[in-house]
């Protein structure tokens, strides 16, 4: 690594001087022999250590043997009493991160230093020792560490506290015993000690809400001196406010006064921390926001870029939820557009775009046009997205915004940037009817000179859908047909498809399209030829002006009613045989992934080629897993796989969750186990299931997990037989049984003999909802009316007192395990009645639709009317049974 670097230095110029010129690992390792001299030369030794550190820092690595050798000779240097050298020795030891048996060599030296009279030795020895130590050694030095925490020298106390923060990750039970000392250190007069003590104390107590709340209550009254500690306190306070969120409706928020008081603190970092905390409060009111916005506004005109950035970034976030609160800062923001720091300028622009009103749009666009030419693509994308949302907000202004977008589309730019612009134009076309024709022409012009195949094909596809519906479809044909001459095969093929769509939709254009398509029959690429042939045949009518028949239209424009990912898996699994591939065998269930969506709240409405919301991957994975077990091969197809249910608490030795796979006549429990103890290897892991509370089930097979090493999850399975097609329910108790083998942490080798052990898991239930698939319908009303009203089963239920309707609706949805349709799972706040529509597929592939009507009275008693329609009356009754027994 160092080699080429040095060579370059040599060639470039001899004038640049470096003490490390021509440095080489081998030579330095030779030099390190001076550490073994009986007469130590401290200065020389320090220099050699510096060189070693330099090598490591440049990315050079030492082999195991080299590192051990260096480590042992470095330990000799503890003989020297030179303070500077000792510091370098500490650094070197930390850098080498010695193995357990090597640590023993230096332990005594470090422990001696830990009790030395020199504070500097003590502080550093603590940090080194805690860095390299393991649990057993820690108990030996615990006593000293506790003393060090309350040491009167702040450097020593900080060293012990910071080490505690790191040790808490690996040895929590030991560090938790230091609470009293840490609490004392929180009162320290030294600023940094207070900061470190508060951080550690909070981490010790973070799982205990009450304790954190008490801590905050006592400290917000007292005086915390250190600005850093004050910042921490603000974070903890907002955490407490978040968790006690329920009582906010009534008047004042607890601790708000404290946060507001911090806005007058003398340290800028505290002021900012408090202002940000206020803006992030749940359901913050304008009155609460105002003081925070005022200080942020002051920061906007600061001379320090960091302060301006921090303020504008926070205001930008506020503008998403409370645009009106930020408008006061607009003048300051506008002056930031010309800020030297482009990050600040971009944030200012996007904030302005969010807060601007209709009349200021034109002025803003003028300013932005100048600005766009000198910023990087990543900033431009941000601006484009802001403009898109502005345009959706003020549809009347579409003309100037669309012009802006088409102008920047013509300029230079990378793929991501162009894609952002195209996506924006597409969304505007969809949402603003007036913008359609103009927008489509902009896109047509763009594909005339577009270097990105992906964008060309996406635009062509979009043209095929939207183009035929315009007043004069013929004017787009030229642009599309040009593609057939000028582009690569992929684009040509998609241009052929687009032409065919025009032909199918616009009967008057059909003869001309036929001529064009026939020419494509001689294309050099077979995909292009195939498509042309296919379309010529499906459109029919031999190129006369006739109406295209319904089937062909359906074929061309109908959407595929199965998820593409599922189709792909099925096609891959299909073995060529007498039996043709049946599209109806493709599973239709779309696994929703609400967690992922929640994490990305800023996700914009997807434009062209919206990424297929990558579900089905778990379905896939499960199928692959299950098919790997021969015992399960005759169970048939999985009807439904449940979401994982945790069977252990968080942070226990072994983490186990279970997935329930429902088959027609069987149920398979898939236990996902993780071993969280590095010193253990588990073998022959199996879950012993007691099904005495589930009479209809009988165990037929189980598959143990041969070995479960640390931190690499594995699966064990247990299979049960149950009556066919019957939604049998029951409760199962689980016991994890395994053989433990101790693992030597230094070598990673397990010991020879293991011990059998058991671990109690939580119970597991198979419930009725496991037999219902979440399958949505696009038009509930149509689907509902297409089912026989005579088979409808209606009944009324009392649900007892509930907090509100939302709670009742959610309870019933999760009980039934069905898919809410048309957004009816959302109950408007404070409403007294609500109708919720559900759809699903019951085991045996029976489609079920449910209409729920809720009402709540003044005593919060909830009543529900349940109407079920399905192809099978028995299934409708089963649904009623679920509700009646739930």
Partner 1 sequence: MANFFSSRDSCPAVKNILLLDSEGKRVVVKYYSDEWPTNSAKLAFEKSLFTKTLKSNARVEEITMFDDNIVIYKFVQDLHFYVTGGDEDNELILASVLQGFFDAVALLLRNTVDKREALENLDLIYLCLDEIVDQGMILETDTSVIAGKVAIQSLDAGAPLSEQTISQALATAREHLARTLLK
CA distances from 441 to 414, 425, 448, 459 (A): 22, 11, 11, 11
CA distances from 244 to 92, 233, 251, 254, 255 (A): 48, 16, 14, 9, 11
Closer residue to partner 1 (CB): 90 or 632: 90
18 part of the interface to partner 1, by CB under 8 A:
yes
321 part of the interface to partner 1, by CB under 8 A:
no
CB of 233 to partner 1, least distance (A): 10
Query: What is the rounded distance in angstroms from the CA atom of residue 125 to the CA atom of residue 108?
Result: 11
Closer residue to partner 1 (CB): 239 or 367: 239
Closer residue to partner 1 (CB): 164 or 439: 164
* Touching partner 1, residues 84-143 (CB under 8 A): 84, 86-88, 90-91, 94, 120, 127, 131
32 part of the interface to partner 1, by CB under 8 A:
no
DSSP string, 636-650: ----EEPPPEE-S-T
Cβ-contact 106, 68 below 8 angstroms = no
272 part of the interface to partner 1, by CB under 8 A:
yes
CB of 232 to partner 1, least distance (A): 7
CB of 839 to partner 1, least distance (A): 39
Closer residue to partner 1 (CB): 4 or 580: 4
CB of 467 to partner 1, least distance (A): 40
Of the candidates 509, 517, 619, which has an alpha carbon nearest to the alpha carbon of residue 568? Answer: 619
Query: What is the rounded distance in angstroms from the CA atom of residue 631 to the CA atom of residue 432?
Result: 57
Pick one of 340, 712, 845, 859: the residue that binds partner 1 (CB under 8 A). 340
> Count of CB atoms within 10 A of residue 359's CB?
9
Q: How far is CA 263 from the centre of its chain?
A: 33
Pattern 180-209, binding to partner 1, x per CB under 8 A?
A: ------------x--xx--x--xx--x---
Q: Which stretch binds partner 1 (CB under 8 A): 50-58, 258-266, 643-651, 813-821?
A: 50-58
431 part of the interface to partner 1, by CB under 8 A:
no
793 part of the interface to partner 1, by CB under 8 A:
no
Of the candidates 775, 407, 455, which has an alpha carbon nearest to the alpha carbon of residue 591? Answer: 775
Query: What is the rounded distance in angstroms from the CA atom of residue 39 to the CA atom of residue 46?
Result: 14
3-state SS, residue 88: helix
424 part of the interface to partner 1, by CB under 8 A:
no
Closer residue to partner 1 (CB): 66 or 721: 66
Residues sharing a CB contact under 8 Å with residue 444, sequence separation 6 or more, in sequence order: 463, 476, 479
Considering CB under 8 A, how many residues would be counted as binding partner 1? Answer: 66
Closer residue to partner 1 (CB): 102 or 273: 273
Pick one of 44, 76, 146, 166: the residue that binds partner 1 (CB under 8 A). 166
CB of 185 to partner 1, least distance (A): 15
Residue with tokens 């799972």: 825
Cβ-contact 878, 824 below 8 angstroms = no
DSSP letter (8 states) at residue 761: -
**Phi-psi group of 793: left, alpha or beta (phi > 0 → left; psi -120 to 50 → alpha; rest → beta):** beta
Pick one of 24, 66, 82, 434: the residue that binds partner 1 (CB under 8 A). 82
305 part of the interface to partner 1, by CB under 8 A:
yes
- Backbone phi, then psi, for 646, in 5-degree steps? -75, 135
CA distances from 96 to 77, 165, 302 (A): 15, 21, 44
645 part of the interface to partner 1, by CB under 8 A:
no
Query: What is the rounded distance in angstroms from the CA atom of residue 541 to the CA atom of residue 396?
Result: 44
CB of 212 to partner 1, least distance (A): 10
Pattern 208-247, binding to partner 1, x per CB under 8 A?
A: --------------------x--xx--xx--x--------
CB of 84 to partner 1, least distance (A): 5
373 part of the interface to partner 1, by CB under 8 A:
no
Closer residue to partner 1 (CB): 54 or 454: 54
Pick one of 112, 209, 264, 304: the residue that binds partner 1 (CB under 8 A). 304
In b/e form, how buried is each residue of 507-534, taking b as 16+ CB within 10 angstroms?
Answer: eebbebbbebbeebeebeeeebbebbeb
Query: What is the rounded distance in angstroms from the CA atom of residue 563 to the CA atom of residue 135?
Result: 52
- Backbone phi, then psi, for 590, in 5-degree steps? -105, 115
Q: Which stretch binds partner 1 (CB under 8 A): 47-55, 697-705, 774-782, 856-864?
A: 47-55
81 part of the interface to partner 1, by CB under 8 A:
yes
375 part of the interface to partner 1, by CB under 8 A:
no
CB of 202 to partner 1, least distance (A): 6
CA distances from 187 to 146, 211, 218, 401, 505 (A): 16, 17, 12, 58, 79
CB of 111 to partner 1, least distance (A): 20
**Phi-psi group of 324: left, alpha or beta (phi > 0 → left; psi -120 to 50 → alpha; rest → beta):** alpha
42 part of the interface to partner 1, by CB under 8 A:
yes
Cβ-contact 358, 394 below 8 angstroms = yes
Q: Which residues bind partner 1 (CB under 8 A)?
A: 1, 5, 17-20, 42, 46-47, 49-50, 53-54, 57-59, 61, 81-84, 86-88, 90-91, 94, 120, 127, 131, 155, 158, 162-163, 165-166, 169, 192, 195-196, 199, 202-203, 206, 228, 231-232, 235-236, 239, 268-269, 272-273, 276, 303-307, 309-310, 313, 340-341, 343
């Amino acid at each position: 690594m160092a080699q080429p670097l040095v060579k370059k230095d040599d060639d470039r110029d001899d004038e640049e001087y470096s003490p490390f010129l021509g440095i080489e690992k081998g030579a330095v390792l030779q030099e390190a022999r001076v550490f073994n001299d009986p007469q130590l030369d401290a200065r020389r030794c320090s220099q050699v250590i510096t060189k070693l550190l330099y090598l490591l820092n440049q990315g050079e690595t030492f082999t195991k043997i080299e590192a051990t050798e260096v480590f042992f000779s470095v330990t000799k240097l503890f003989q020297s009493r030179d303070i500077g050298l000792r510091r370098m020795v500490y650094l070197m030891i930390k850098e080498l991160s010695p193995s357990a048996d090597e640590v023993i060599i230096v332990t005594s030296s470090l422990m001696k230093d830990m009790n030395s009279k020199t504070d500097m030795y003590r502080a550093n020895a603590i940090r080194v020792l805690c860095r390299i130590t393991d649990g057993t050694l820690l108990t030996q030095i615990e006593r000293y560490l506790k003393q060090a925490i309350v040491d009167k020298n702040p450097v020593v106390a900080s060293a012990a506290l910071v080490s505690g923060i790191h040790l808490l990750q690996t040895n929590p039970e030991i560090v938790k015993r230091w609470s009293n000392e840490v609490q004392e250190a929180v009162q320290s007069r030294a600023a940094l000690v207070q900061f470190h003590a508060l951080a550690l104390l909070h981490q010790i107590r973070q799982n205990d809400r009450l304790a954190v709340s008490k801590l905050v209550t006592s400290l917000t009254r007292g005086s915390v001196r250190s600005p850093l500690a004050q910042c921490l306190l603000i974070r903890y306070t907002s955490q407490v406010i978040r968790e006690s969120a329920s009582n906010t409706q009534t008047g004042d928020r607890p601790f708000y006064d404290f946060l507001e008081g911090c806005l007058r603190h003398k340290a800028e970092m505290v002021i900012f921390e408090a202002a940000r905390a206020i803006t992030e409060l749940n359901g913050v009111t304008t009155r609460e926001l105002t003081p925070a916005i005022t200080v942020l506004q002051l920061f906007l005109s600061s001379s320090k870029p960091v302060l301006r950035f921090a303020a504008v970034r926070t205001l930008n976030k506020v503008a998403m939820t409370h645009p009106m609160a930020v408008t006061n800062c607009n003048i300051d923001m506008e002056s930031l557009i010309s800020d030297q720091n482009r990050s600040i300028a971009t944030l200012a622009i996007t904030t302005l775009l969010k807060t601007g009103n209709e009349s200021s749009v034109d002025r803003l666009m003028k300013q932005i046009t100048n600005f766009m030419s000198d910023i990087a693509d990543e900033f431009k994308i941000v601006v484009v997205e802001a403009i898109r949302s502005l345009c959706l907000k003020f549809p009347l202004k579409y003309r100037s915004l669309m012009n802006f977008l088409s102008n920047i589309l013509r300029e230079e730019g990378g793929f991501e940037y162009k894609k952002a612009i195209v996506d924006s134009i597409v969304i505007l076309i969809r949402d603003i009817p007036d913008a359609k024709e103009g927008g489509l022409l902009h896109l047509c012009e763009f594909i005339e000179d577009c270097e990105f195949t992906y964008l060309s094909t996406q635009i062509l596809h979009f043209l095929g859908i939207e183009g035929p519906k315009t007043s004069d479809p013929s004017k787009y044909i030229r642009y599309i047909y040009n593609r057939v001459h000028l582009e690569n095969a992929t684009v040509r093929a998609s241009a052929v498809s687009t032409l065919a769509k025009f032909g199918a939709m616009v009967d008057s254009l059909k003869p001309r399209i036929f001529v064009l398509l026939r020419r494509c029959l001689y294309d050099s690429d077979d995909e292009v030829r195939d498509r042309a042939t296919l379309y010529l045949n499906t459109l029919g009518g031999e190129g006369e002006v006739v109406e295209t028949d319904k089937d062909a239209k359906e074929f061309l424009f109908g959407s595929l009613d199965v998820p593409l990912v599922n189709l792909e898996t099925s096609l891959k699994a299909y073995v060529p045989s007498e039996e043709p591939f049946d599209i109806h065998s493709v599973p239709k269930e779309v696994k929703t992934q609400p967690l992922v969506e929640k994490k990305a709240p800023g996700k914009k409405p997807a434009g062209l080629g919206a990424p297929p919301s990558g579900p089905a991957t778990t379905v896939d994975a499960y199928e692959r897993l299950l098919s790997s077990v021969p015992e399960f091969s005759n169970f048939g197809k999985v009807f439904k796989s449940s979401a994982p249910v945790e069977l252990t608490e968080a942070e226990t030795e072994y983490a186990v969750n279970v997935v329930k796979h429902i088959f027609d006549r069987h149920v398979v429990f898939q236990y996902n186990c993780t071993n969280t103890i590095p010193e253990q290897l588990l073998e022959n892991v199996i879950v012993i299931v007691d099904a005495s509370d589930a009479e209809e089930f009988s165990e037929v097979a189980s598959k143990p997990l041969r070995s479960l090493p640390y931190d690499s999850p594995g699966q064990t399975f247990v299979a049960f037989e149950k009556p066919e097609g019957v939604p049998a329910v029951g409760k199962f108790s689980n016991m994890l049984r395994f053989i433990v083998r101790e693992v030597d942490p230094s070598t990673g080798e397990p010991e020879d003999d293991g011990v059998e052990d058991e671990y109690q898991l939580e119970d597991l239930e198979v419930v009725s909802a496991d037999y219902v698939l979440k399958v949505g319908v696009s038009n509930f009303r149509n689907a509902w009316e297409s089912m026989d009203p005579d088979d409808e089963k209606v009944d009324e239920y009392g649900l007892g007192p509930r907090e509100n309707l939302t709670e009742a609706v959610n309870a019933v949805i999760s009980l039934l395990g069905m898919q809410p349709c048309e957004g009816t799972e959302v109950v408007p706040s404070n409403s007294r009645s609500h109708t919720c529509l559900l759809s699903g597929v019951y085991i045996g592939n029976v489609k079920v639709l449910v209409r729920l009507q809720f009402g709540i009275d003044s005593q919060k008693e909830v009543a529900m009317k349940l109407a079920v329609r399905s192809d099978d009356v028995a299934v409708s009754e089963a649904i009623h049974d679920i509700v009646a027994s739930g």
